[in-house]
Structure 1
Amino acid sequence: MISVLLLGLLLPGLAQASDSPGQLMDLTQHWVGYAAIAVFVVAYTLVIFEEQLHMRKSKPVLLAAAVIWVMVAIVYRHHGDSHLVESAIRHNFLEFTELFFFLLVAMTYINAMLERGVFEALRAWLVLKGFSYRALFWLTGALSFVISPVADNLTTALIMCAVILVVGEGKPSFVSIACINVVVAANAGGAFSPFGDITTLMVWQKGVIEFFEFFALFVPSLVNFLVPALIMQFALPSGKPPAGDHEDVSMKHGALVIVGLFLLTIVTAVSFHNFLHIPPVFGMMAGLAYLKLYGYSLRRRSLSWHSGSENPPGSHDDPFNFDVFEKIAKAEWDTLFFFYGVILAVGGLGFIGYLSLASGFSYGELGPTTSNILVGFLSAIVDNIPVMFAVLTMNPEMSHNQWLLVTLTAGVGGSMLSIGSAAGVALMGQARGQYTFFGHLKWTPVIALGYGASIWVHLLVNA
Structure 2
Amino acid sequence: MHTFLIILAVIAFFMIVLEDVIHLNKAKTTLFLGTLSWLVLFLFPVDDVTPKQIQGMLNENLLEIASLWLFLMAAMTFVAFLNHQGLIETMIYKFLPSRVGEKTLLFMVAIFAFAFSSLSDNITATLVSVALVLSLKLPPNKTLKFAVLVVFAVNSGGVSLITGDVTTLMIFLADKVAIQDLLWLALPSFVSVMFLAGLLSFGLKGELIIDGGERHYDRVGMSIAILFLFTILSTIVLNIIAGVPPVLTFLFGLSIMFLIGRFFHTDDDRENMLDYIRVIEFDTLLFFLGILLLVGMLKEIGVLDNLVKIYEILPAIQANYVMGLLSSLVDNVPLTAALLKANLEMTPASWLSLTYGVGVGGSLLIIGSAAGIVAMSKIKEVTFISYMKYSFFLLLAYSLGFAGSLGVGTVLFN
TM-score normalized with structure 1 length: 0.84
Amino acid at match of 2:239: H
TM-superposed deviation, 1:54: 2.4
Any unmatched runs of 5+ in structure 2?
none
Distance 1:252 1:168 in 2: 30
Which of 350, 374, 385 matches 1:438? Answer: 385
Larger radius of gyration: 1
TM-superposed deviation, 1:206: 2.0
The C-alpha deviation readout for 1:413-435, integer Å capped at 9, x for no partner, is: 0110111111110111111x212
Which of 142, 147, 153 matches 2:122? Answer: 153
Amino acid at match of 1:215: L
| Paired position in structure 1 for 2:264 | 298
Q: Secondary structure of 2:382's partner? A: coil
Q: Tell whether 2:297 aligns with 1:328.
A: no
Q: Secondary structure of 1:131's partner? A: strand
Amino acid at match of 1:412: V
| Paired position in structure 1 for 2:403 | 456
The C-alpha deviation readout for 1:343-399, integer Å capped at 9, x for no partner, is: 00011011111112221x122232311221111011111111111111111121111
| Paired position in structure 1 for 2:148 | 180
Distance 2:52 2:261 in 1: 45
| Paired position in structure 1 for 2:367 | 419
Amino acid at match of 1:430: K
| Paired position in structure 2 for 1:309 | none
Query: Percent identical across equivalent pairs?
Result: 29
| Paired position in structure 2 for 1:311 | none
Kindly report the root-mean-square deviation, in angstroms, between the aligned alpha carbons of the 2 structures.
Answer: 2.0
Amino acid at match of 1:151: S
Q: When the two structures are aligned, how many residues end up with a matched partner?
A: 410
Change (3 A) 1:128 1:452: closer
Given that residues 261 and 272 in structure 2 are in contact (C-alpha distance below 8 angstroms), is that contact kept between their aligned partners in structure 1? yes
TM-superposed deviation, 1:321: 6.3
Change (3 A) 1:283 1:73: same
Amino acid at match of 1:277: G
Q: Tell whether 2:289 aligns with 1:340.
A: yes
Change (3 A) 1:326 1:245: same
Any unmatched runs of 5+ in structure 1?
1-31, 303-317
Distance 1:271 1:223 in 2: 25
Q: Secondary structure of 1:115's partner? A: helix
Give 1:17-166 correspondences, 5 Å limit.
32-76=1-45, 79=48, 81-125=50-94, 129-166=98-135
Q: Secondary structure of 1:453's partner? A: helix
Change (3 A) 1:319 1:327: closer
Amino acid at match of 1:442: K
Change (3 A) 1:87 1:151: same
Moved more, 201-210 or 109-118: 201-210
Distance 1:245 1:266 in 2: 31
| Paired position in structure 2 for 1:374 | 322
Q: Secondary structure of 2:214's partner? A: coil
Given that residues 380 and 414 in structure 1 are in contact (C-alpha distance below 8 angstroms), is that contact kept between their aligned partners in structure 2? yes
Q: Tell whether 2:221 aligns with 1:274.
A: no
Which of 342, 348, 351 matches 1:400? Answer: 348
The C-alpha deviation readout for 1:68-117, integer Å capped at 9, x for no partner, is: 22332334278361222111111111111111110111011001111221
Give 1:304-315 correspondences, 5 Å limit.
none
| Paired position in structure 2 for 1:208 | 176
Given that residues 225 and 450 in structure 1 are in contact (C-alpha distance below 8 angstroms), is that contact kept between their aligned partners in structure 2? yes
Which of 378, 388, 391 matches 2:336? Answer: 388
| Paired position in structure 2 for 1:307 | none
Q: Tell whether 2:187 aligns with 1:240.
A: no
Q: Secondary structure of 1:460's partner? A: helix
Which of 312, 330, 334 matches 1:364? Answer: 312
Change (3 A) 1:126 1:55: farther
Given that residues 117 and 255 in structure 1 are in contact (C-alpha distance below 8 angstroms), is that contact kept between their aligned partners in structure 2? no
Q: Secondary structure of 1:145's partner? A: helix
Amino acid at match of 1:367: P
Q: Tell whether 2:161 aligns with 1:193.
A: yes
Q: Secondary structure of 2:201's partner? A: helix
TM-score normalized with structure 2 length: 0.93
Distance 1:172 1:178 in 2: 10
TM-superposed deviation, 1:216: 2.1
Which of 377, 381, 395 matches 1:429? Answer: 377
